[in-house]
């Protein structure tokens, strides 16, 4: 499979390119494009959350711990003193970062349900909830952020499948087909649990009507057809007027009678 640096770099580039589409289509404000790129980059390492002792797993649970701690902080900000809030924040962070991480690793296996499109859809919905309820972004923008997480997630799965093909040896490794899949057919229990989790986040997620109207295929394809390629010359450059240059050269070569 691709290593951490490759996943990070390719997801960042892919998300940045997709962010230019959002910019051209005015789907997000200019100052939000970095957020979308970061969301896609994070999505690009999410599938390795079930890889024990790996950098993505530690990073993601650290981030999840911080987000959970702030959610708890916002919930009790009017009830407790600053010292008590410090204890709440630290306690929630440590519980998620270390307790949650250990429990998660004990109950999951690498390239299981978290290497599936079902899991990608779950993280998309979860991201929409976080950006709607924690960061109070508009519903359409929250869903767009979730879409970028899904894009990065899919980039990761595709990369793992590409690395499962030995081009030089013209062979396919045993890991081929384990990364990019709809669900985990080897564990129907895990797939069912993820399906229930996905249904749960969809129910809790903000309304998706405005987001859907922006990205539905007819609208998206029409926009790409209109804006993907330049209507004239690339970057507005025009080829040199060779005819005029030739005439000028001929005129300079003529002798005065």
Buried b (16+ CB within 10 A) or exposed e, 85-121: beebbeebbeebbeeebeebbeebbbbbbbbbebbbb
Q: What's the predicted TM-score (pTM) here?
A: 0.80
Count how many residues are written for the chain.
Answer: 257
Question: Rounded to whole angstroms, how far apart are CA atoms 40 and 36?
Answer: 6
pLDDT at 55: 76
Question: Rounded to whole angstroms, how far apart are CA atoms 141 and 14?
Answer: 19
pLDDT tens over the chain, length 257 residues: 678 888 899 999 999 999 999 999 999 999 999 999 999 999 998 888 877 666 778 888 898 899 889 888 888 888 889 999 999 999 999 999 999 888 888 877 767 888 899 999 999 999 999 999 888 999 999 999 999 999 999 999 999 888 775 434 444 555 556 678 998 888 889 899 999 999 999 999 999 999 999 999 999 999 999 999 988 888 877 665 444 544 555 555 555 44
Q: 8: closest CA among 64, 54, 69?
A: 54
pLDDT at 171: 47
Q: Quick one: CA torsion of 121, 125, 130, 136, rounded to 10 degrees?
A: 140
Q: Which residues pair with 166 in a beta bridge?
A: 171
Question: Rounded to whole angstroms, how far apart are CA atoms 138 and 133?
Answer: 10
Count CA atoms closer than 13 A to 115's CA, side-chain side.
24
Q: Which residue has the tokens 């990608």?
A: 120
């Amino acid at each position: 499979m691709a290593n951490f640096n490759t996943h990070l770099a390719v997801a960042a580039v892919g998300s940045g390119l997709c962010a230019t589409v959002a910019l051209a289509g005015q789907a997000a404000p200019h100052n939000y494009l970095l957020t979308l790129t970061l969301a896609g980059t994070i999505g690009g390492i999410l599938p390795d959350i079930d890889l024990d002792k790996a950098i993505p797993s530690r990073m993601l649970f650290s981030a999840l711990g911080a987000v959970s701690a702030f959610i708890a902080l916002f919930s009790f900000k009017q009830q407790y003193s600053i010292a008590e809030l410090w204890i709440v924040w630290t306690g929630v962070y440590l519980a998620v970062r270390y307790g949650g991480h250990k429990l998660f690793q004990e109950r999951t296996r690498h390239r299981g349900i978290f290497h599936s499109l079902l899991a990608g859809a779950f993280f998309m919905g979860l991201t929409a909830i976080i950006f709607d309820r924690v960061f109070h972004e508009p519903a359409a923008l929250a869903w767009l952020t979730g879409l970028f997480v899904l894009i990065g997630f899919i980039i990761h799965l595709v990369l793992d499948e590409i690395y499962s093909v030995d081009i030089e040896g013209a062979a396919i490794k045993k890991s081929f087909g384990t990364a990019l899949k709809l669900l985990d057919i080897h564990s129907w229990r895990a797939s069912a649990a993820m399906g229930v989790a996905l249904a749960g986040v969809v129910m809790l997620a903000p309304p998706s009507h405005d987001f859907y109207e922006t990205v539905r295929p007819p609208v998206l394809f029409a926009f790409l057809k209109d804006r993907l390629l330049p209507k004239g010359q690339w970057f507005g450059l025009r080829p040199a007027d060779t005819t005029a240059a030739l005439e000028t050269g001929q005129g300079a070569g003529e002798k005065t009678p």
